[in-house]
Copies of this chain bind each other. A is one copy, B any other.
């Protein structure tokens, strides 16, 4: 067991046999192998891999000219347009760190992020003029404005327009791979339901590995046409910003998640893959019939952020999609687990199959381990499908940590695992199923009730389009389930109908005691904001 064995002597790392892993290398290769292939589609615009690489090198050269290098932060505030995709390569090419900012945040939060992340430069889409103005009032940062023909209007902020700026850069810029694959590549702020958001730091190694893992598990290859329904600012587009390039596929940009844009793009660009929160799928399902143009291919749709309700899976399949359920967090570079298909599920009835598919599943091949642990002891819970524990993962696609926030990092790195904060069970088949965020579990009369289970029942009601369940404080029971429901266009149901439906389809004590109708508050990534509903449910009691 001696370290100095015959296999070490004279067998060290050198330039020929060791390179720091970096997803930036995928672009160099794609430009070499498929120079004339369309790398990026944006409206009527086509950018080949040769051009993509040249544009990115111009971009990197311009960063270098401004003195931006290793450890510097470059922020981008834009929808899914080429400049944001290009930043995923140009920024790390000079050793800098990409901070893709959630484009639906208010100026104050953006200002906080620019300051906390110590941003050296902000590149912002022209549509975000007002946010940029407010944010740079709080934190002054040099700005470059990106105009977009698809937006139409321009604005008068910024030192220079992005395309003009690129034009001044050197398309042959000699870039450096990172000296160390542990070097930071991205800084992504969590949405932060309370207090200021936390800055999650990714490194080149993790981005490289998760891009490969995602490509492998989602079946990407050089024929892949990937539609950008998932925001690139969201965990760097679950690392598909790099993964699609790794397989030399085509990126189809999308300025706005709008079914009237999405369906024609799927048909015309022959889209093969897309990702998005269940809300995106719901939006497609409930789009007006006239926008739902058909397409001949089957589109692989990966969804995560919340379990896809069975009705959503069924409707998507009927429209020509195949749904895969992924699970992850900002802290895990996006997807960390998938609900891997088992052959015997082919023969299950739709309902049972959807129940299997709604589980978060098993860890990626590129992640090291997944466990469901007792939050107190850190020990694995039995795989009985009943004992609730906390979902935990470990491996190279877990963040470096939270920026300038070691106490927060220490809270989630426990016993050699990253604790997700999601409460889950482990089924006898080894698949994890998230029952709730720690704070989403409802404790009524001493019984744990999963808000997700009630929501799944609600989604199966024929009149329900969306549903969210939270705890409502109750003097007798401690808490009772309170359901917030949006009905389908033209559908009708009252609280009595909804409660009766739940009592018919699940244990009576789990049925909601209160039902509130109306639109649901959502985050920019389409997640329902339960913390707002929890506040509302408290107010109900007080009233």
Interface residues of A (CB under 8 A from B): 1-3, 5-19, 21, 25-26, 28-29, 32-35, 69-72, 95, 97, 118, 182-184, 187, 201, 206, 212, 215-216, 219, 221-222, 246-248, 340-342, 362-363, 365-366, 368-369, 394-396, 398-401, 403-404, 406, 409, 413-414, 416-418, 430
Q: A10-B406, A33-B430, A35-B430 are in contact. Are A70 and B16 (CB under 8 A)?
A: no
**Are A16 and B71 CB-contacts (below 8 A) given A10-B406, A34-B342, A184-B11?**
no
Assess whether B416 is in contact with A16, with CB atoms less than 8 Å apart: yes
Asked if residues A118 and B430 are in contact (CB atoms below 8 Å), the reply is no
Oligomer: number of copies = 2
**Residues A6 and B396 in contact in the complex (CB < 8 Å), given A16-B417, A416-B15:** no
Report 20 cross-chain contacts, Cβ distance below 8 Å, ordered by A residue. Answer: A2-B70, A3-B71, A6-B71, A6-B403, A10-B401, A11-B401, A12-B400, A15-B416, A16-B413, A16-B416, A16-B418, A17-B394, A17-B396, A17-B398, A18-B396, A34-B342, A35-B430, A215-B216, A216-B247, A222-B340
The distance in angstroms between the C-alpha atoms of A393 and B35, with both chains bound, is: 20
Q: Is the CB of B19 within 8 A of A394?
A: yes
Alpha-carbon distance A416/B13, docked complex (angstroms): 11
Contact A10-B395, Cβ < 8 Å, known A71-B2, A340-B33 = no
Inter-chain contacts of A247 with B (CB < 8 A): 216, 365
Chain B: CB-nearest residue to A181: B396
- Chain B: CB-nearest residue to A407: B10
Taking CB atoms, residues of chain B closer than 8 Å to A399 are: 17
A-B contacts besides A1-B95, A11-B401, A14-B416, 17 pairs, CB < 8 Å: A2-B70, A5-B72, A6-B71, A7-B97, A7-B184, A7-B187, A7-B403, A9-B404, A15-B394, A16-B416, A17-B394, A19-B394, A19-B395, A32-B362, A33-B430, A219-B221, A222-B341
Chain B: which residue is nearest A205 at the CB level?
B18
Q: How far is the CB of A29 from chain B (nearest CB, A)?
A: 6
| Interface hub of A11, A182, A246, A404 (most chain B Cβ within 10 A) | A11
Q: Is the CB of A409 within 8 A of B32?
A: no
> Once the chains bind, are B118 and A363 in contact (CB under 8 Å)?
no
Find out whether the CB atom of B184 lies under 8 angstroms from the CB atom of A19: no
Tell me which of A5, A9, A34 has the highest count of chain B C-beta atoms within 10 A of its own C-beta. Answer: A5
Which B-chain residue is minimally distant from A213 (CB atoms)? B212
B1, B7, B19, B340: the one contacting A396 at CB < 8 Å is B19
Cα A393 to Cα B399 in complex, Å, equals 31
A29: chain B residues at CB < 8 Å are 362-363, 365
Nearest CB of chain B from residue A372's CB, rounded to whole Å: 12
